Structure 1
Amino acid sequence: MSRLNLDDFSDLIERPDSGTRRDAEERRERLAVPPGALGRLDELGEWLAAAQATVPVKAVEQPRVLLFAGDHGAARLGVSARESGSAHRLVRDVLEGVSPVAVLARRAGVPVRVVDAGLDCDPALLPEEVSRHRVRRGSGRIDIEDALTAAEAEQAVRLGMAIADEEADSGTDLVVLGDLSVGGTTPAATLIAALCGTDASVVTGRGGAGIDDLAWMRKCAAIRDALRRARPVLGDQLELLATVGGADLAAMTGFLLQSAVRRMPVILDGVVSAACALVGQRAAFRSPDWWIAGHMSGEPAQAKALDRMALHPVLDHGVTVGEGVGALLALPLVQAAAALAAELPERPAPAEAEPEREPEGTPAKAEPEMPPGGAGPEAR
């Protein structure tokens, strides 16, 4: 197998159909509801129409929540409020229906799929359909060692690509993308800081579970040290993911890129998916046109990444739990935008003015009589 080059995606990914988007905008101008009255919903409907290449836009009928799971060696440094190696518990909560994303997905009737890319647990603790994709058991401590080997990074990216193909082939028409990880915000912030050329303190947040000031300082130091290792490999996205990423982040990056190839739109969740999207943008500059940001998580690194990709979050409700929750909350708005764009009636065309008619019973005008002998002398 030849070595994977993420830059090749630049030739494979096209933008959503711009002509269709113009048609959607023109149709919106003709709707009975005044332009601008629906706010952001207009933009979402036009984005979806362009992704589907159809006007009027079709309803989102087969959405899917997709969560990539993994443990990160950085958690051993005390940078997370959760215990190192405990991400499998998050997965169990989702599978048992007791996590926030499981509750919301059940209420919305949206199926949830979990992919174990790099959990640090016995595979027997999880169903085979979850654990069979695992690339390795946990990712390395990125402040002092690589997260993955080069071969593992490629395997993880190809895993994400294969999952994207599976979803597209099964008829999934929109993906809500999230992560189930412990320590994952540390490599995510490192990737964003490296790609945006900024310092560790600018991107270090407190994670979905929240950390105290001492843990924040440990996290900031870990990102600082990881950045020193990341900067020399910025020219190769695959090597960057191997150095300071992780199995779940590499798989998510591959998924995002292949989803854009397959023209399957994606709602991004928090800082981890934003970091993977930023790596994807570096590989293929058109790819962010296939994604929207579901919400603002409060992580400074996420805000930095979304600004770089010119993606504006749909929601900002202070949701920090992660696990795809914020992105899933944005799904009903996307579905509402599609319904409104497709089902609202157009304004009736103005009636054409009819020519005036003579009232009935009006005597016809008599033709002027010719004088006897024909035309008068003037005519002669």
Structure 2
Amino acid sequence: MSVEGWRTALVLGGIRSGKSEFAESLVAREKVVRYVATATIDPTDAEWAERIAEHQERRLDGWVTEEIGADPDRLVELIASAGADETLLVDDLGGWVSATLEAGAGAADLAPAVRDCAARLVIVSSEVGLSLVPTTKVGRAFTDALGAANRAVAEASDAVVLVLAGQPSWLKLTAATERPQPTPEVFTPTVETPVPPPPMPPADALSAPTMTLPMVATGLVIQPGMDLPMPDEHAGPQATERLGTLDFAGAGLGALDQVVAFAAATQGSPSPLPWTTIRVLLLHGDHDGGAAAGVAPGESGRRADQARSGDGALARLAAAAGASLQVVDAPTAAPIELGPALTVDAVEAALRYGWRLAEEAVDSGVDLIVLGACGAGTEAAAAAVLAAASGAEPAAVLGRVVSPGGRVDDAAWMTRCATVRDALHRTRDSQRSAKDVLAELGGGDIAIAAGVLLGATARRTPVLLDGPVGVAAGLVSRDLAGQARHWCLLPDHGGHPAVKLAADVLGLTPLLDLRLDLGEGATSLAALPLLRAALSLAGTLPEHPLAPEPAIDGAQ
């Protein structure tokens, strides 16, 4: 598995570690590759000739081999003169060092050539730092020279990979900003100009021209078992204990104690501050087929346009909270009763894109993300993800279908139930990994939402959830990184059965029971003033004059 965002890479590994095969996989999609072979062929050494023949047989059609064993000085020249539209694979650095050892050459000229190389460049080399010190003088000279070359080339390269027993580990990755990255056509986020707190600004302040965010490859691999940060385990209990000493007229904050403990843990302080810079991410993605039964065509697009223009509940509540609003268009998901919702590649792109959205928000100063969604069929897709993850019956997790005007559409509800049931039956023998569930059942909006949760976790930033898409993303992100759910807060379950069940599975306790159903994201924004009020009181109230003195370690 590889990552994106690099131009030059050094692939290290021991003998028969699989380093050459992995290096070849990095450039396998390139139509033309210049394979620079550094070994000197000895016709009297049958075993060595067999090794070289094995390498030659793996080279793909369209690859051009350049043998430089007899003229090692050509390596620097080849790298320095390569154009931006070329791809070079050098295998391996050890052969080159061996050939240049007597001449006293080495990394002095090679490293600058690698650093300035305009082409896509992969260099394979043996890692000598894990081996024993050779017993001969020439052996020690070789390992010293190759070790020095590896260090210099690693420093000059965008990426460094260590291959052990065929398993690659990325040791370094620096995005190669010199080469512009294409923007995926299906993802076109826009950021509304941040609006001030109430009173409400005029409508034209919310409909200002938008700014398109460039899609920059993040160079990450999203896979199960990622080790992401956890909130501070001590700050939350300390904040709760401190609340008991404050000068409240009554018993205190009640259930909102949880808000203070959550904010303290995510901020790493027993005296958390109210969130001040908030980004609302509204994911707009439709689901074709029976999942969208009962939704008028174009309705989700109308909601997304409302948000962009500053109209509708979500935009008005965002304006009242002083939050910026970003509408993110996700790819339309195929009917899940007939086949996969997305391709595997689209799932990977959506996860990385969601991660990048969270990064961009945090880099701009955001300290709280509110996750929302609008799309035809999102509730049914989320129910399918939840049913696959928890074994729940579709009818138990699908909320009622309510048409405009408040009419309950039982026929549409039954169609959605049948769709989820058929999709689960179709995938009954499929794997239940997080990415498989997203590809088969979830769709682009849930995949992007999961990426947002993972990216926010990596950047130690809390997320407010409400609605089926948010909790479905929470279930998926939990299976990729168990730490993600600890950065999520659920203000209200909205009376939705899927949200209630997912909250139980994730261990999230809804703070309120207002049963608000304003659309995903809007419920969180409606509750936000109350949450911030609790944090403001917890941070500004003095201690009660009769509060007990803090306990001292060792005191009886």
TM-score (norm 2): 0.56
- 2:286 alignment counterpart: 71
Q: Give the superposition deviation at 1:78.
A: 7.2
Shift of 1:7: 0.8
Are the aligned partners of 1:81 and 1:211 in contact in 2 as well (CA < 8 Å)?
no
Shift of 1:40: 1.6
For residues 350 and 175 of structure 1, the distance between their equivalents in structure 2, rounded to whole angstroms, comes to 36
Report what 1:368 is aligned to. none
Change (3 A) 1:320 1:197: same
Match of 1:242 in 2: 439
Structure 1 window deviating more from structure 2 (322-331 vs 138-147): it is 322-331
Q: Tell me the distance in 2 between the aligned counterparts of 1:85 and 1:246.
A: 18
Are residues 5 and 175 of structure 1, via their aligned partners in 2, closer, same or farther at CA, if it must alter by over 3 Å?
closer
Cα 1:44–1:98, aligned 2, differ >3 Å: closer, same or farther? Answer: same
Structure 1 match to 2:14? none
1:66-101 CA distances to partner (integer Å, 9 max, x unpaired)? 111101113xx3744322454221111111222111
Would you tell me which structure has more helix in proportion to its own residues?
A: 1
In the alignment, the residues of structure 2 paired with residue 86 and residue 238 of structure 1 have an alpha-carbon distance, to the nearest angstrom, of 28
CA distance in structure 2 between the aligned counterparts of 1:149 and 1:85, rounded to whole angstroms: 24
* Secondary structure in 2 matching 1:295: coil
% identity of equivalent residues: 37
- Whole-Å separation in 2 of the counterparts to 1:71 and 1:16: 34
Please give the residue correspondences for 1:341-380 in structure 2 after superposition, counting only pairs within 5 Å.
341-348=538-545
List aligned pairs for 1:260-279, cutoff 5 A: 260-279=457-476
Task: Identify the structure with the greater strand proportion.
Answer: 2
Gapped regions of structure 2 (runs ≥ 5): 4-220, 550-556
Q: Secondary structure at the match of 1:114?
A: strand
Q: CA deviation at 1:325?
A: 1.0
CA shift, 1:162, in A, is: 0.4
1:297 alignment counterpart: 494
In structure 2, what is the Cα distance between the partners aligned to 1:188 and 1:202? 13
User: For 2:473, what is the secondary structure of its paired residue?
Assistant: helix
Residue 164 of structure 2 is matched in structure 1 by: none
User: Deviation of residue 208 (structure 1)?
Assistant: 6.6
Matches within 5 A, 1:193-342: 193-207=387-401, 209=403, 211-342=408-539
- Whether 1:144 aligns to 2:338 is yes
Pair 234,199 (structure 1): closer, same or farther in 2 beyond 3 Å: farther
Partner of 1:19: 234
* Residues 1:113 and 2:326 aligned together: yes
Given residue 54 of structure 1, which amino acid in structure 2 is its aligned partner? S
Alpha-carbon contact 1:208-1:322 (below 8 Å) kept: no
Secondary structure of the residue that 1:281 maps to in structure 2? helix
Aligned to 1:112, what secondary structure does the other structure show?
Answer: strand
Q: Is the 8 A contact 1:72 1:85 kept in 2?
A: no
Q: Which moved more, 1:159-168 or 1:276-285?
A: 276-285
**Counterparts of residues 42-191 of structure 1 (less than 5 Å):** 42-74=257-289, 77=290, 79-118=292-331, 138-191=332-385
Contact 1:253/1:280 (8 A) holds in 2:
yes
Cα distance in 1 for residues equivalent to 2:277 and 2:292? 37
Q: Distance in 2 between matches of 1:273 and 1:177?
A: 7
**Distance in 2 between the 1:289 and 1:245 partners?**
22
> Quick one: distance in 2 between partners of 1:182 and 1:71?
5
Residue 356 of structure 1 is matched in structure 2 by none
* TM-score, length basis structure 1: 0.81
Residue in structure 1 matched with residue 224 of structure 2 by the alignment = 7
Q: Aligned partners of 2:297, 2:548: CA distance in 1, in Å?
A: 71
In 2, Cα distance between the equivalents of 1:265 and 1:140? 31
- Aligned partner of 2:7 in structure 1 is none
The Cα of 1:29 is off from its aligned counterpart by 2.4
Query: Which 5+ residue runs of structure 1 have no aligned equivalent?
Result: 119-137, 353-380
Task: Report the Cα distance in structure 2 between the residues aligned to 1:294 and 1:158, rounded to whole angstroms.
Answer: 27
The 1-side partners of 2:357 and 2:288 are apart by 25
The 2-side partners of 1:310 and 1:214 are apart by 33
Higher relative contact order structure (alpha carbons within 8 Å, sequence separation ≥ 6): 1
2:379 maps to a residue whose letter is T
One-letter identity of the residue aligned with 1:105: A
What is the CA–CA distance in structure 1 between the aligned matches of 2:258 and 2:291, rounded to whole Å? 42
Cα distance in 1 for residues equivalent to 2:547 and 2:395: 60
For the aligned residue pairs, the C-alpha RMSD in angstroms reads 2.2
AA aligned opposite 2:336: I
The Cα offsets for residues 320-361 of structure 1, whole Å up to 9 and x where unpaired, read as: 231311111121122112101110101337899xxxxxxxxx
Contact kept? 2:338, 2:423, Cα under 8 Å: yes
Cα distance in structure 2, aligned partners of 1:268 and 1:347: 34
Task: Give 3-state SS (helix, strand or coil) of 2:282's partner.
Answer: strand
Q: What is the DSSP-based 3-state SS (H/G/I as helix, E as strand, rest coil) of the residue aligned with 1:30? A: coil
Q: Is the 8 A contact 1:5 1:238 kept in 2?
A: no
CA deviation after TM superposition for structure 1 residue 278, in Å: 1.2
For 2:478, what is the secondary structure of its paired residue? Answer: helix
Per the alignment, residue 358 of structure 1 pairs with: none
Q: Residues 292 and 378 of structure 2 are in contact (CA less than 8 Å); yes or no, is this contact kept in structure 1?
A: no
SS of equivalent to 2:335: coil
Which SS does the other structure have where 1:323 is aligned? coil
- Alpha-carbon distance change, 258 to 208 in structure 1, aligned in 2, over 3 angstroms: farther
State the Cα distance separating 1:23 from its structure 2 match. 2.2
Given residue 67 of structure 1, which amino acid in structure 2 is its aligned partner? L
SS in 2 for 1:177: strand
Deviation, 1:211, is: 4.7
One-letter identity of the residue aligned with 2:242: R
Higher alpha-carbon deviation: 53-62 or 217-226: 53-62
Distance, in Å, in 2 between the alignment partners of 1:331 and 1:208 is 26
* Aligned residue type for 2:352: R
